[in-house]
Amino acid sequence: MAENERSLRYGCNPHQTPARVYTRKGALPFNVLNGGMSYINVLDALNSWQLVKELKQATGLPAAASFKHVSPSGAAVGRPLAGVLRRAYRVDDMDLSPLATAYARARGTDRLCSFGDWVALSDMVDVPTAQLLRREVSDGVIAPGYEPQALALLRKKKEGKYIILEMDAGYEPPALEARDVFGVTVEQRRNDAQINAALLQNIVTDRQALSDAAMLDLLVALITLKYTQSNSVCLAVDGQVIGVGAGQQSRIHCTRLAASKADNWYLRQHPAVLDLKFKPGVQRPDKDNAVDLYLRDDLTPVEESAWRAVFSEQPQRLSASEKRAWLAGMRDVVLGSDGYIPFRDSIDRAQQSGVGYVVQPGGSNRDAQVIQACNEYGMLMAFCGVRLFHH
C-alpha cells in the first residue's frame, strides 16, 4: 500500500468496512510503529496531537492529553506534582519525568472518563512516561518519537496490540480542509487561530490584575477548547484541565458538567478519599469506579453493594456539609468558554467551583449582565474575541 494510504480495522463502528486513511497529496504525516488503527483512533490521534503541539508552543512546557471520542478528558503541561495529587492520581510510587507528569495530570483530571483513552504527548516518549502508560488502560499513543527502551515497553502492552504512532512534528496541513457528509462535501479554512497572551488583553471587569499562573491556565483552557466538541466549557488550574463539559446544546449544561467534574476532581483529594482501604488485588480501574460511587449521593442498593465490596475497611461517607466545606477550598480556577456566555447562570454556577478567572469570546446581547455577575463575585473576565467551535 502506498505511503499516503493505510487501511483501517473499521470505521466508527465494526460493521463500517472497508475503511482507510489517506492523503490526497504527499505522504501521511505519521508512521504506525505498532498495532492496527480504527477510524476513531485516527480522529483522536490527529486532534489530540494538535492540542499538545499548541500547548507546548504556547507554554514552552511538555504537554499531554487524554482523549476519548474526539474530545479531551484531560490535558495538562508538565508542572511539578504535589504529594496529594500524586496520591489522587495513583502515581505516588513512581519517579516521573516532566512529560510523565503532564500525562499523570491529564489522566488524573477524570480517571473514570479516561479509561481506554487515546494519549497524545508533545515530546519524545521517555521510559518513565512509557512505564506510566503501561499500567493504565489505554488504546494508543501519538508522539514525535520514542526512546528505544520506551518503545520496547509499549510494544508489549495489550499483548502486543497497543497502537503506537510516530508523528512528524514539522508537519503543517493545507490551509483548506474538507469533509464528506451524506455524499456532500463541505470545505473550510482550517482553524489556525493562534492562542496566546495577546488574546487575554481585553479585560472587561473591575478586577484587572492577571497573574502569570492565571495566564497559563487561561491558555491551557482555550487551547483545550479548540479541540473539544462544541458546545464546550473547560475549567483549569495549576497548568491542567480539571473539568470539561463537551458536546452540549446549552452553555449552562456545559458549565454544570465541567464544574461537576472539577468538584469531583477536588473531592478526590479529600483525606477521606485518599485513605480509602481497598482489598488486595483490586485493580486501578475498579478503584476509580469505587471512588466515583463513594462520592455520589444517589446510589441504588445494587450500586451501594458493589461499591462497598472492594473495601477491606468500610468507610464512612462524606456528608453534604463535609463536601461543601472541602469544596470551599477551591480557589483561582479558570473557566474558558468556546462561545459567548449568553446568561449569568454560567457565572453563578462557576462561582460555586472556585472560578476566579473567565475567558470567552464576548458578543452576547447580555454581555453587560455577565460582566456584572463577574464583578459581583470578584472575578476577572477577558473577552478573547475568538470563537472556538469544533465539530
8 within 8 A of 38, measured Cβ to Cβ: yes
Distances (CA, A) of 28 to 5, 36, 89, 98, 381: 7, 15, 35, 29, 41
Q: Distance between CA atoms of 103 and 64, rounded to whole angstroms?
A: 5
Question: Which pLDDT value is given to residue 19?
Answer: 95
User: Nearest-CA neighbor of 113 among 241, 281, 294?
Assistant: 241
Q: Could you give the angle at the alpha carbon of 152 between the alpha carbons of 150 and 154, nearest 5°?
A: 70
Question: Which pLDDT value is given to residue 52?
Answer: 98
Catalytic amino acids?
A: 68-69, 231, 391
The string of pLDDT tens digits covering residues 156-168 is 999 999 999 999 9
Residues of the chain with pLDDT under 50: 1-2
Note the pTM of the prediction, 2 decimals.
0.96
Question: Which pLDDT value is given to residue 203?
Answer: 98
Question: Which pLDDT value is given to residue 3?
Answer: 83
Question: Which pLDDT value is given to residue 306?
Answer: 80
Domains of the chain (ranges, CATH numbers): 5-172 (3.40.140.20), 177-267+327-383 (3.40.140.20), 278-317 (no CATH)
Question: Which pLDDT value is given to residue 216?
Answer: 97
Q: Distance between CA atoms of 74 and 238, rounded to whole angstroms?
A: 13
User: Nearest-CA neighbor of 285 among 117, 130, 140?
Assistant: 117
Distances (CA, A) of 45 to 24, 39, 283: 19, 10, 27
The string of pLDDT tens digits covering residues 118-176 is 999 999 999 999 999 999 999 999 999 999 999 999 999 999 999 999 999 999 999 99
Is the preceding peptide bond at 41 cis, omega within 30 degrees of 0?
A: no
30 within 8 A of 165, measured Cβ to Cβ: yes
User: Nearest-CA neighbor of 204 among 326, 371, 83?
Assistant: 371
227 within 8 A of 389, measured Cβ to Cβ: no
Question: Which pLDDT value is given to residue 2?
Answer: 46
User: Nearest-CA neighbor of 225 among 97, 103, 72, 353?
Assistant: 72
The string of pLDDT tens digits covering residues 297-312 is 888 888 888 888 899 9
| 354 Ramachandran zone, left/alpha/beta (phi>0; psi -120 to 50) | left
